[in-house]
Structure 1
Amino acid sequence: MTTSPEIVASADGTPIAYESTGDGPPVVLVGGAFNDRTTVSALAATLAPRVTAIAYDRRGRGDSGDNADAFAVEREIEDLAALIAAAGGRASLFGHSSGGVLALEAAAQGLPVERLAVYEAPFVVDGLRPLPAEGTAERVRALIAEERRDDAVCLFLTEQVAVPAEMVDGMRASPAWPFLVGLAHTLPYDIALCGPDLTVPTDRLAKIAVPTLTMAGGASPAWFPAAAQAVADAIPGASYRTIEGQDHGVLHNPEALREPLLTFLR
């Protein structure tokens, strides 16, 4: 993939940066929290050349612009609409984590989506993990406003994602931590996408009328596959698949997604 992205203007004029690789039917890769186009680039290369994989920077990330004062989920839907238009008017979507929630919402709103694949959308069913404490979104936004980005990332990970505190301590000592902190200002977007109580939006999902595949890792905590199955159950005709040996970090092992995604997308 090239280092100089292409740019498409979203409906509100925000520039959205993207890169395309491969040939064949287009599929837009939608990353979740702490992701930009670089973190899905390995998956794009793995899927090419059998599809045209489009890796993009969600607004506020990488080379894309932002309009943070007026953020709403609808703006990110408009960003996807602009990317799909640039890809020829129809495209499939693959979404990881909260990027999967964004992809689901785009399909539910009737964007011209050919096929939809989602990996571990972070909904919570059956009380399988603690829900975020009340006011978590407001606290994250306040920390960002105070430029306490490190603290905002810690709060998001422990409260919103239920990562054990000792694991977060280990992450803070890793070379990847500055990358996460650099994207702290976009965390409110992911919280808004998933909703305050992380409930599966069954009524909205029932509106999705395109072939859909949900996936979860066989090595992931139980709440991820339970949520993926619940999402599949809510979408007419959708199917669920376990990706054995993988967890939420599957983007680091893109070969694990190659066969299931290409089989489904083609």
Structure 2
Amino acid sequence: MSTEPTYHTATSADGTEIAYYVQGSGPALVITHGSIATSDQWLPATAELSRDFTCYVFDRRGRARSGDNAGYSIQSEVEDIRAVIEAAGSGASLLGHSYGALCTLAYALQHEVEGALILFEPPLPVFGAVAGPKLEDYRAAIAAGDNARALEIALVEFVGLPAEAVPHVKQTPLWDAILPLAPTWTRELEQIDALGPDIDRYSVLSDKPTHLIGGTGTTPFLIESVRRLNRTIVGSTITELPDLDHFAHLADPAGFAGAVRQGVRTEVPS
């Protein structure tokens, strides 16, 4: 039976306190969550993953139990991941979701990943800028204190949901959880678009243990990001989850955990 999570903190390079929970036993798996999320969103998945891994799941800076700093870039996130990896110890595998997967990729470009690198739907700008000019509309809604309007813009313009699907999202428990986190998305969208269209930069990860996960029911640019990375990182493997989307870890925790296990077994043989 999986253990209950225990809560801890680590200090990042700029002095920011990064909170994380630890759950399970076995090889270390450090999990970096995505935008408008917290570590708590991963509790259903880590209840499954903790049977095989010691999961280290942290609140990214600026949300929930973690601190923040006025200066921000994706490099800040790299240092936060590094702080949690140091707590996890040698041999850790890394799992990143959405923007957290971009942060994890940035870490892997700078540091050796001793275990497997697992990437779940990173939002690469494969069809052009993810936010583009619409980021100004999002920024204006946040400045006006209208987080709901900002999220409506983001879900349609950035994520690619049909407008008619937004009312359904508002009826889910997820909506109330993400609403107060909307302001944190602005700086992350800026960082995503600043990456530019060069996917080839990730080819240096070729022949290193890398596994991609995507849902066939997700938005087109996200599944294309997964497939294009799989082609770019030679030797990487891929799991496509039938009919699941960007929240597969919530909709089907057991199935998602199986995809992670498959990636680690495939990439890091015993």
With structure 1 as the length reference, what TM-score do the two structures score? 0.88
Q: Distance in 1 between matches of 2:88 and 2:148?
A: 37
Partner of 2:175: 177
Do the aligned partners of 2:142 and 2:183 also contact (CA within 8 Å) in 1?
A: yes
Do the aligned partners of 2:129 and 2:193 also contact (CA within 8 Å) in 1?
A: no
Tell me by how many angstroms 1:131 deviates: 5.3
Partner of 1:208: 205
Partner of 1:61: 63
Percent of aligned positions that are identical: 29
Do the aligned partners of 1:123 and 1:200 also contact (CA within 8 Å) in 2?
A: no
Do the aligned partners of 1:200 and 1:231 also contact (CA within 8 Å) in 2?
A: no
Tell me by how many angstroms 1:64 deviates: 0.5
3-state DSSP of counterpart to 2:166: helix
Amino acid at match of 2:14: D
Distance 1:20 1:33, change over 3 A: same
Match of 1:147 among 145, 148, 151: 145
Q: Distance in 2 between matches of 1:197 and 1:88?
A: 30
Partner of 2:263: 264
Amino acid at match of 1:185: P
Match of 1:15 among 14, 17, 27: 17
Q: Distance in 1 between matches of 2:63 and 2:21?
A: 14
3-state DSSP of counterpart to 1:241: strand
Do the aligned partners of 1:200 and 1:227 also contact (CA within 8 Å) in 2?
A: no
Do the aligned partners of 1:156 and 1:187 also contact (CA within 8 Å) in 2?
A: no
Amino acid at match of 2:135: A
Partner of 2:95: 94
Tell me by how many angstroms 1:242 deviates: 1.4
With structure 2 as the length reference, what TM-score do the two structures score? 0.87
- Of the structure 1 ranges 84-93 and 189-198, higher mean CA displacement relative to structure 2 is found in 189-198
CA-to-partner distance for each residue in 1:202-236, whole Å, 9 max, x for gaps? 22x12225310112113334443322110111113
Tell me by how many angstroms 1:17 deviates: 0.7
Does residue 1:250 correspond to 2:248, yes or no?
A: yes
Q: Distance in 1 between matches of 2:109 and 2:192?
A: 14
Amino acid at match of 1:217: G
3-state DSSP of counterpart to 2:60: coil
3-state DSSP of counterpart to 2:51: coil
> In the TM superposition, what are the counterparts of 1:64-213 in structure 2 within 5 Å?
64-67=66-69, 69-125=70-126, 127=127, 132=130, 134-195=132-193, 199=197, 201-203=199-201, 205-208=202-205, 210-213=208-211
Distance 1:22 1:240, change over 3 A: same
- Of the structure 1 ranges 72-81 and 84-93, higher mean CA displacement relative to structure 2 is found in 84-93
Match of 1:38 among 35, 40, 58: 40
Distance 1:222 1:134, change over 3 A: closer
Amino acid at match of 1:19: Y
Do the aligned partners of 2:160 and 2:219 also contact (CA within 8 Å) in 1?
A: no
CA-to-partner distance for each residue in 1:98-130, whole Å, 9 max, x for gaps? 2211111111122544211112222254x5xx8
Tell me by how many angstroms 1:71 deviates: 1.1
Q: Distance in 2 between matches of 1:134 and 1:259?
A: 35
Amino acid at match of 2:15: G
Do the aligned partners of 1:26 and 1:54 also contact (CA within 8 Å) in 2?
A: yes
Partner of 2:268: none
Partner of 1:228: 226
Tell me by how many angstroms 1:21 deviates: 0.8
Instruction: Provide structure 2 residue ranges, at least 5 long, that are not aligned to the other structure.
Output: 266-270
Tell me by how many angstroms 1:241 deviates: 2.1
For this pair of structures, how many residues does the alignment match?
261
CA-to-partner distance for each residue in 1:109-162, whole Å, 9 max, x for gaps? 22544211112222254x5xx855633334433432332222222222222112
Q: Distance in 2 between matches of 1:142 and 1:245?
A: 35
